[in-house]
Amino acid sequence: MADNSVRWEFQPVADQAVNIDFGELIDEEINLRITSLAAAINNKRLTGVTACIPTYRSLTVAYDSALVRQSHLIERLKELITTVKTETKTRKCWYLPVCYGGKYGVDLPASAQTLALSPDELIRLHTATCYRIYMIGFMPGFAYLGGLDARLHIPRRTAPRQSVPAGSISIGGIQTAVGSVAAPSGWHLLGQTPVKSFDPLREQPFLFTAGEYIEFVPIKENEYVKLADDRGYMPDWNLRA
Amino acid sequence: MTYFDVLSPGLLSTLQDGGRFGYEDKGVPPSGVLDELSFAIANALVGNHPGTGAIEFTLTGPSLRLCGDGYCFFSVTGDFSATLNDAPCATYQNHRMHPGDILSIQRVISGARGYLSISGGFAVPPVLGSVSTLMRAQLGGVNGHPLRKGDRLPVAPQRHSVCHGVRAERILPQMEKRAVRVVWGPQDDYFGDEARASFLTQTYTLSPQCDRMGYRLKGSPLAHVKGFNIISDAICAGSIQIPGDGQPIVAMNDRQTTGGYPKIATVIRADLARLGQMKPGDPIRFEAVSVEKAEDLWQGRQKILAQKLATLNKKVLAACP
């Protein structure tokens, strides 16, 4: 895909940031372009830039107007957008163990019923995809994944739960996600991973980066308990082109 | 070892500094003080580096007893009354405090937030480079929670001596009564001319749902022309989201980093401190300005503040008898 075929628009976020919007759609190619651009901006260390937040379809570049004016920053960003090549480098694919159902995934039976699947069939479909991490947001380390099988698209709960456990694996709408810390949620809980995607005391507090991939691997409860007790446990990963 | 014993925590008192920056792309909001003006003056009064962690309190302040073997200097800013061992204690002035002394900060007079800074700062381990408390994720501060009765807050060693009795000019952001200035966007195209006009002409009221995450406003609802769901994108401090019910939510420092409601406008940086001093029931109006104007206002304000702080620093750190 030729880079110049992608359209974008600059939108001011007052005098704090500029939003580069690539349109109202979820698309792997566009997200790849956004994560590549974010990496390029971080590498360039542009004067005055204080944060670079990639999302599904936009990149928000925060700046300090005492150091750079937005009009000037936009000129620098335009140059980068037109010159940065979409990264084709290999990315990590994490193999994330998940204990599905039971007390770890209280919504599994009801979700299966809504989707007219057996619980086993639902688990099989959920673990059959290699998901792209489109963005990290909402809570520290919370990973939004794309690529959920259309057979698993499901409306969100009418009443969100006040709090779901850390490590919750859930589906909602056309998305699936890996929870990090305990948080409110209106999504359906399928299971739980013993892996901590955020641990402030670990040398690398955040496990995932937008642009990486995740595959879920079903595990039994006894294995979950063992892995959850192991503070140093890290999941396997491979490089994916 | 010197520490503060929390006798009563006040309504909502948290340890905050300039913010936890560099992790917004990992879902971590910057947190940090809601009124950086009052915070900057509090730190300058005790000779601290700008950005040293302080206690931010809300509507009702805490009572604290100094314990251990050392003294310290403190200052209280924000429009509150305070006592030191039951005697009135002036705010916007630095004081010396000895072991056994009790500092009590009472109810707010105007605005919503106040700051307590101590010389050297509180000896709490930073998490991801900041001591700011993010209650939602239990990060920073005292084990990630607001101050509680019985908490111990260790005092860091002093870096230098401080002249006490120094006063600072009272700068209260809430005294500026004009409309809060915003820049349109990033999703103002989700609203028609009528909704945009209504947003600027009506006076909103801050609802009881106003916390460090966000302020919910009450007013006549704004209609969307393209629905009220967008594919989630980034939320900045001052971003004004309009959910399905048409009532604005202004994102504050502990906001979620991404969200799925269209944002009609964003509060400019120079007016965020004023926003931080607002409380439930307060009226709020908006006025639209250009990006360039917003940048000029911020640069102008930062210049004046830097001059005031430099003058204050000289007085506080001058050789004392």
ipTM score of complex: 0.93
Helix (H, G, I), strand (E, B) or coil at A59: strand
Residue A17 has pLDDT above 50, yes or no: yes
Q: Do B137 and A25 touch (CB under 8 A)?
A: no
* Closest Cβ–Cβ partner in B185, B256, B257 for A11: B185
Beta-strand relationship, A58-63 and A143-146: unpaired
Q: Do B291 and A12 touch (CB under 8 A)?
A: yes
Question: Model confidence over A118-140: pLDDT tens digits?
Answer: 999 999 999 999 999 999 998 99
Beta-strand relationship, B263-267 and B180-184: antiparallel
pLDDT of residue B149: 98
pLDDT of residue A1: 42
Q: Do A53 and B269 touch (CB under 8 A)?
A: no
**Peptide bond before residue B186 is cis, with ω within 30 degrees of 0:** yes
pLDDT of residue A122: 98
| Average pLDDT rounded to a whole number, residues A56-83 | 95
Helix (H, G, I), strand (E, B) or coil at A131: strand
Chain A residue at shortest CA distance from B262: A24
- How close does chain B come to A33, measured CA to CA in Å? 16
End-to-end CA distance of chain A: 16
Q: Which residues of A touch B295 (CB under 8 A)?
A: 15, 65, 69-70
With a CB cutoff of 8 Å and minimum separation 6, the contacts of B150 are B5, B6
Q: Is A42 left (phi over 0), alpha (psi -120 to 50) or beta?
A: alpha
* Closest Cβ–Cβ partner in A17, A60, A136 for B27: A136
Q: Does B155 touch chain A (CB under 8 A)?
A: no
Chain B residue at shortest CA distance from A35: B25
Contact B140, B131 (CB under 8 A): yes
pLDDT of residue A2: 43
Chain B residue at shortest CA distance from A51: B22
Contact B268, B238 (CB under 8 A): yes
Q: Which residues of B touch A26 (CB under 8 A)?
A: 231
Helix (H, G, I), strand (E, B) or coil at A226: helix
Q: Do B233 and A139 touch (CB under 8 A)?
A: no
Q: Do A137 and B22 touch (CB under 8 A)?
A: no
Residues of chain B with pLDDT under 70: 319-321
Q: State the sign of the Cα–Cα–Cα–Cα dihedral A98, A99, A101, A105.
A: negative
| Average pLDDT rounded to a whole number, residues A61-65 | 95
Q: Which residues of A touch B256 (CB under 8 A)?
A: 137-139
Structure tokens at B191: 């609203």
**A positions 73-132 inside 8 Å of B (CB):** none
Query: Exposed, middle or buried by CB within 10 Å (0-12, 13-18, 19+), for B163?
Result: middle
Q: Do A52 and B25 touch (CB under 8 A)?
A: yes
Q: Is B88 left (phi over 0), alpha (psi -120 to 50) or beta?
A: beta
Residue A3 has pLDDT above 60, yes or no: no
Contact B62, B9 (CB under 8 A): yes
- How close does chain A come to B86, measured CA to CA in Å? 41
* Closest Cβ–Cβ partner in B128, B230, B238 for A24: B230
Q: Does A66 touch chain B (CB under 8 A)?
A: yes
Chain A residue at shortest CA distance from B130: A200
Contact A160, A185 (CB under 8 A): yes
Q: Report how many Cβ contacts below 8 Å link chain A to chain B.
A: 142
Nearest residue to A56 via CA among B239, B203, B225, B258: B258
Higher pLDDT, B164 or A69: A69
Contact A44, A52 (CB under 8 A): no
Give the separation between CA B56 and CA B13, rounded to whole angstroms.
5
Question: Model confidence over A157-206: pLDDT tens digits?
Answer: 888 898 999 999 999 988 999 999 998 899 999 999 999 999 998 989 99
Cα-to-chain-centroid distance, residue A179:
10
Beta bridge partners of A214: A94, A131
**B positions 172-211 inside 8 Å of A (CB):** 182-187
